[in-house]
Amino acid sequence: MPNRERQSTKIREIVLVGNPNTGKTTIFNALTGLRHTTGNYPGVTVERRAGSMKLANGERVSVIDLPGTYSLLPRSPDEQVVHSVLFGTQRGTPLPDLVLVVLSANNLERNLYLATQVAELGLRTVFVVNMWDIAKETGIEIDLEKLEAMTGIRCIPTVGMKKEPIRKLKRVIAEELGRGQLREKTFNPGLAPEIRYRLVENITASAVKTVARKSLSVSESLDRILTHRVWGLVAFIGVMAFVFQSIFVWAQAPMKWISLGIEKLAVLAKEVLPGGALESLVVEGVIAGVGNVVVFLPQIMLLFFFIALFEDTGYMARAVFVLDRIMKMVGLNGKAFLPLLSSFACTVPGVLATRTIEDRNDRLATILVAPLMSCSARLPIYTLFTAAFIPPGTCFGLLSAQGITLLAMYLLSIGAGLGMAAVFRKTLLKGNRMPFVFELPPYRMPHLGNVFSVMWDRSKEFLVRAGSIIFLLSIVLWFCVNYPKDPAAEARFAAERARAESVMSGAELEERLGEIERDQKELQIKSSYAGALGKMIEPAIRPLGFNWEIGIGIIASFAARELLISTLAIVHHVQGEGEGMTAGLIRALQSTRDPETGRELYTPLVAVGLMVFYVFACQCFSTYAVLRKETGSWGWTFFTIGYMTALAWGAAFAIYRGGRLLGFQ
Amino acid sequence: MPEMKAVTLDTLLPGEGGFIRGYSEAKELHHRLKELGLVGGTMVRVRRCAPLGDPMELSIRGYHLSIRKEDARHILVLKDEQGPCGRGRGCGRRDGGRS
């Protein structure tokens, strides 16, 4: 029976191996048609891309895109995974039935270093000689028959996504999978690089003919500008300004649509659901919680789009090249720049982006300071307190005081981040295990399919990572804010509502009901678990000039920092939604007085202290989760939370006490 | 035979190059550099230095590699006759800006 036969044969596995910048992922996409899944290898943070393809005979085979590597001797987690898969020791991934080594025809010598290592493993192997067109353009001729004869491996030329060569490759894959015999394993891991390069040079000496070594003229002239000592820096700043502009200005419109959509959804849910605890849970817990994450999606997707674009075109390597000297001053390397930049949108993708840093100490130092970069969840807090407490006048007749305050918060976060990096690299994380070297590949026209596919994969990972935690936490927070219920108070408010309904009508009634609702919410939050927590931490924040009402806001911020604003709005009895609420909250903050002292509670001094507190404090559960995952240790996670909290408390204390000494209120 | 003298790689100016003779000290750290093709007998040429003088971009085995001067300092090169391109711009001090 054919059916039984199908079941007895397992799905066969093909893996793609190769140096970085060989177009390996393009070949993977061409073979699998962009349909693939991403995840992680068990226990490590290395991304696992897997897809499947159909052979001419109808058989479905699985295809895995292994991380780019230069050698089979593992030095980084990425390379460890490649090593384990090819040696059959990787959990959950069987020894592959066929290995495709993707080589860049443009740079055969260095590519053959890895390729010959893989060939010696004795697995069924095919060499995919990619970028055939670029090699031709630069005057390199490769005699494939000679190459096959000298290595004993089938060689197939390809040109990225181009259809005909890929079809040929698929045919060869089917043929090779049909072959029974495996070759002998001759790999010697102790072979010195000098000797292996002699072997490789032997091969290239007879198989590669350099007709006329021409450099790629377009790539060359681009490099002359983009790495120029003046224009290189100008171009870099221009590119980054563009990225920032798009993330913080252009992303605002879609973010607004999303929050409007979420509000609509909440209204709809209120209509559909029966009142009471369930409605409250769905509307204030679930919908609001998911909304808090989804609203950042436009920013995150734009950020990932640019990163993927820079990687695909080759500009990323130039940015690292231009910046390395600056990052070196604080003990980091050029590759730390991108994670830190991403952290301005959100710490989670920022920390994930540190995976490209090979050296452990470099990477760890970058992870530890990434949460200090001022993420976009902090921006609404700066905006609110700046608008409420910083006078709108101008300094030096040019810049507005409010603008300077905002800028100061960002500079503070950058300064603290780089400063702490320098401190960590001089104390806890001294020295390097690896020299900092990287390839500068030729520039390429971006392949938009690849760019969007990478963007989508990473955005999905962000949604899952940050989303699931914020979602759970939103429900916990909802519970803390809404419980315990006080039946006596509930009855009293119900009675008041009934009384209002009996004596008033129309707009007057609406207004009165709104007021009762706000009274009830205020009383509820103040007598809730969150209120109790706020009171509990009050002794710790009192020296900073914060009272327990701000304490509730700080507690709520652990789900998402911007929740400080909506929490303060409830605590201070502010009506309205959206912009109306913000204006009301600003008025409320300006007029709130401390019941014990009778003085204004929020002075400009307290407001600045609170903003600085938010610059430094690590109040974000998604960050804790990503720190734990990427450092692989609770120790480093708690260390990061600890040092940031200490920094936040110390800075807010210094500002409040120092300001008081200088005579500010 | 043109006269050749061994210098450390970080002292070369853009346009200058030569054959790698070896490493000034044996270190496990250098294994990665060797795997990338920086082994004895290999032809290497400095293409340019980054805007702030470090790192430097090398042309080696048909591709371009960025390396920090602090790492290039360990590589000994038999310099060939070809002089620096242009006015030797781009790399700052000739001693390689060690610090």
What integer pLDDT is reported at residue A418 of this predicted model?
A: 94
The pLDDT > 90 percentage for chain A reads 31
Contact A436 B54 (CB under 8 A): no
The pLDDT > 70 percentage for chain A reads 94
| Spatial separation of the C-alpha atoms in residues A413 and A99, rounded to whole Å | 47
What's the CATH architecture for B6-79? Roll (2.30)
Of A178-187, A192-201, A630-639, where does mean pLDDT reach its minimum? A178-187
Helical axes A578-591 vs A379-389, angle rounded to 10°: 50
Contact A110 B67 (CB under 8 A): no
Strands B43-49 and B56-60, sheet pairing: antiparallel
Nearest-neighbour CA in chain A from B76: distance (Å): 15
pLDDT digits (tens, 9 = 90+) for B59-95: 999 899 999 999 999 999 998 876 665 544 445 544 4
Best residue of A69, A106, A110 to probe chain B, by most B CBs closer than 10 Å: A110
Q: Is residue A197 scored above 50 in pLDDT?
A: yes
pLDDT bin (cut points 50, 70, 90) of residue A620 is confident
Q: Is residue B3 scored above 70 in pLDDT?
A: no
Q: Does A220 touch chain B (CB under 8 A)?
A: no
pLDDT bin (cut points 50, 70, 90) of residue A609 is very high
What integer pLDDT is reported at residue A513 of this predicted model?
A: 83
Contact A108 B62 (CB under 8 A): yes
Give the closest residue to A561 by CA, choosing from A619, A496, A616.
A619
Query: Is B63 in a helix, a strand, or coil?
Result: strand
Of A29-33, A290-294, A605-609, where does mean pLDDT reach its minimum? A290-294
Q: Is residue B98 scored above 60 in pLDDT?
A: no
Q: What backbone torsions phi and psi does residue A348 show, to the nearest 5 degrees?
A: -60, -55
Span A425-441, average pLDDT:
87
pLDDT bin (cut points 50, 70, 90) of residue A46 is confident
Q: Is residue A489 scored above 90 in pLDDT?
A: no
Among chain B residues, CA nearest to A215: B62
Which residues on B lie below 8 Å from A131 (Cβ)? none
Q: What backbone torsions phi and psi does residue B63 show, to the nearest 5 degrees?
A: -140, 175
Nearest-neighbour CA in chain A from B92: distance (Å): 11
Q: Is residue A283 scored above 50 in pLDDT?
A: yes
What integer pLDDT is reported at residue A324 of this predicted model?
A: 93
Which residues on A lie below 8 Å from B51 (Cβ)? 227-230, 232-233, 322, 325
Strands A36-40 and A47-54, sheet pairing: antiparallel
Nearest-neighbour CA in chain B from A381: distance (Å): 37
Best residue of A222, A437, A438, A439 to probe chain B, by most B CBs closer than 10 Å: A437
Residue with tokens 């009402």: A549
A228, A230, A435 member nearest B32 (Cβ): A435
Q: Do A273 and A265 meet the contact criterion of CB atoms below 8 Å apart?
A: no
Give CA angle at A22 (A21, A24), nearest 5°.
105
| Spatial separation of the C-alpha atoms in residues A651 and A645, rounded to whole Å | 10
Neighbouring C-beta atoms of residue B16, cutoff 10 Å: 22
What integer pLDDT is reported at residue A214 of this predicted model?
A: 65
Q: Does A205 touch chain B (CB under 8 A)?
A: no
Which residues on A lie below 8 Å from B32 (Cβ)? 70-71, 75, 434-435, 437
pLDDT digits (tens, 9 = 90+) for A127-173: 999 988 888 888 888 999 999 999 999 999 999 888 899 999 999 99
- Helical spans, DSSP H, in A356-505: 360-369, 379-389, 401-426, 448-482, 487-503
Q: Do A130 and A158 meet the contact criterion of CB atoms below 8 Å apart?
A: yes
| Residue A101 or A139, more confident | A101
Nearest-neighbour CA in chain B from A22: distance (Å): 12
Describe the strand order of the beta sheet including B6-8 as a list of residue ranges.
A437-439, B63-67, B56-60, B43-49, B17-23, B75-79, B6-8
Best residue of B68, B73, B87 to probe chain A, by most A CBs closer than 10 Å: B68
Give the closest residue to A362 by CA, choosing from A251, A280, A469, A436.
A436
| Spatial separation of the C-alpha atoms in residues A620 and A284, rounded to whole Å | 19
What integer pLDDT is reported at residue A65 of this predicted model?
A: 92
Span A249-265, average pLDDT:
87
Contact A197 B65 (CB under 8 A): no
What integer pLDDT is reported at residue A318 of this predicted model?
A: 92
| Spatial separation of the C-alpha atoms in residues A646 and A652, rounded to whole Å | 10
Q: Is residue A6 scored above 70 in pLDDT?
A: no
pLDDT digits (tens, 9 = 90+) for A312-353: 898 999 999 999 999 999 999 999 988 998 898 889 889 988
Q: In chain A, positions 436-495, which contact chain B (CB-CB < 8 Å)?
A: 436-441
Strands A13-18 and A98-104, sheet pairing: parallel
> Following CA atoms A635, A636, A640, A643 in sequence, which dihedral angle do they give, to the nearest 10 degrees?
60
| Residue B63 to residues A530, A652, B38, Cα–Cα distance (Å) | 60, 52, 12
Tokens in use for A314? 């080759």
- Is residue A127 one of the residues assigned to a domain? yes
pLDDT bin (cut points 50, 70, 90) of residue A500 is confident
Q: Do A96 and A16 meet the contact criterion of CB atoms below 8 Å apart?
A: no
| Spatial separation of the C-alpha atoms in residues A642 and A635, rounded to whole Å | 10
Say how many Å lie between the first and final Cα of chain B, rounded.
Answer: 36
Rg value, chain B, Cα: 12
Run of H or E residues at A344: none
A233, A325, A439 member nearest B64 (Cβ): A439
Q: What is the pTM of this model?
A: 0.83
Which of A203-212, A245-254, A429-438, A641-650 ranks highest by mean pLDDT?
A: A641-650
Which residues on A lie below 8 Å from B90 (Cβ)? 229
Range A586-607 burial, b when 16+ CB lie within 10 A, else e: bebbeebeeeeeeeebbbbbbb
| Residue A375 to residues A299, A342, A370, A616, B13, Cα–Cα distance (Å) | 11, 9, 9, 11, 42
> Following CA atoms A16, A19, A25, A26 in sequence, which dihedral angle do they give, to the nearest 10 degrees?
-110
Q: Prior bond to A484 cis, omega within 30?
A: yes
Neighbouring C-beta atoms of residue B71, cutoff 10 Å: 22
Nearest-neighbour CA in chain B from A435: distance (Å): 6
Nearest-neighbour CA in chain B from A172: distance (Å): 29
Give the closest residue to B4 by CA, choosing from B91, B64, B88, B78.
B78
A110, A228, A441 member nearest B51 (Cβ): A228
- Is residue A157 one of the residues assigned to a domain? yes
Q: Is residue A229 scored above 80 in pLDDT?
A: yes
Give the closest residue to A376 by CA, choosing from A562, A554, A550, A237.
A562
Which residues on A lie below 8 Å from B30 (Cβ)? 435
Q: Is residue B97 scored above 90 in pLDDT?
A: no
Which residues on A lie below 8 Å from B67 (Cβ)? 435-437
Best residue of B9, B25, B32, B73 to probe chain A, by most A CBs closer than 10 Å: B32
Contact A321 B37 (CB under 8 A): no
| Spatial separation of the C-alpha atoms in residues A189 and A195, rounded to whole Å | 12
Q: State the amino acid at position A484 in one-letter form.
A: P
Q: Prior bond to A349 cis, omega within 30?
A: no
Span A67-95, average pLDDT:
87
Tokens in use for B27? 């270190």
Question: DSSP character for A593?
Answer: B
Among chain B residues, CA nearest to A229: B51
| Residue B43 or A590, more confident | B43
Give the closest residue to B58 by CA, choosing from B98, B18, B30.
B18
B39, B67, B68 member nearest A197 (Cβ): B39
How is A26-82 classified by DSSP, letter by letter? HHHHHHHTT-EEEEE-TTS--EEEEEEEE-TTS-EEEEEEPPP-S-SS--SHHHHHH
Query: Is A209 in a helix, a strand, or coil?
Result: strand
Which of A224-238, A454-468, A628-642 ranks highest by mean pLDDT?
A: A628-642
Run of H or E residues at B31: helix B31-35
Q: Do A102 and A128 meet the contact criterion of CB atoms below 8 Å apart?
A: yes
Residue with tokens 């042309």: B59
Contact B31 A436 (CB under 8 A): no
Contact B35 A321 (CB under 8 A): no
Contacts 24+ apart (CB under 8 A), A627-635: A627/A351, A627/A367, A627/A371, A629/A45, A629/A465, A630/A45, A630/A351, A630/A352, A630/A354, A630/A355, A630/A367, A631/A364, A631/A367, A632/A45
B42, B57, B68 member nearest A436 (Cβ): B68
| Residue A32 to residues A27, A103, A601, Cα–Cα distance (Å) | 9, 19, 62
A73, A197, A440 member nearest B66 (Cβ): A440
A75, A197, A223 member nearest B32 (Cβ): A75
A213, A326, A434 member nearest B29 (Cβ): A434
What integer pLDDT is reported at residue A271 of this predicted model?
A: 86
Tokens in use for A278? 């369930």
| Residue A657 to residues A170, A609, A651, A664, Cα–Cα distance (Å) | 72, 10, 10, 10
**Annotated domain spans of chain B:** 6-79
Domain count across chain A? 1
As a whole number, the mean pLDDT across chain A is: 86
Which residues on B lie below 8 Å from A113 (Cβ)? 35, 37
Of A408-412, A416-420, A526-530, where does mean pLDDT reach its minimum? A526-530
B36, B50, B61 member nearest A227 (Cβ): B50
A140, A194, A326 member nearest B34 (Cβ): A194
Q: Is residue A4 scored above 50 in pLDDT?
A: no
Among chain B residues, CA nearest to A19: B36
Q: State the amino acid at position A180 in one-letter form.
A: G
Q: Is residue A448 scored above 50 in pLDDT?
A: yes
Among chain B residues, CA nearest to A325: B54
B33, B39, B48 member nearest A437 (Cβ): B33
- Write the CATH number for A187: 3.40.50.300
Helix and strand tally (H, E) in chain B?
Answer: 2, 6
Q: How would you write A68-92 as a 3-class SS string?
A: CCCCCCCCCHHHHHHHHHHCCCCCC
Nearest-neighbour CA in chain B from A129: distance (Å): 16
Among chain A residues, CA nearest to B63: A107
Q: In chain A, positions 56-85, which contact chain B (CB-CB < 8 Å)?
A: 70-71, 73, 75
Contact A326 B52 (CB under 8 A): yes
Q: In chain A, positions 426-445, which contact chain B (CB-CB < 8 Å)?
A: 432-441
Q: What backbone torsions phi and psi does residue B54 show, to the nearest 5 degrees?
A: -150, 140
> Following CA atoms A467, A470, A475, A479 in sequence, which dihedral angle do they give, to the nearest 10 degrees?
180
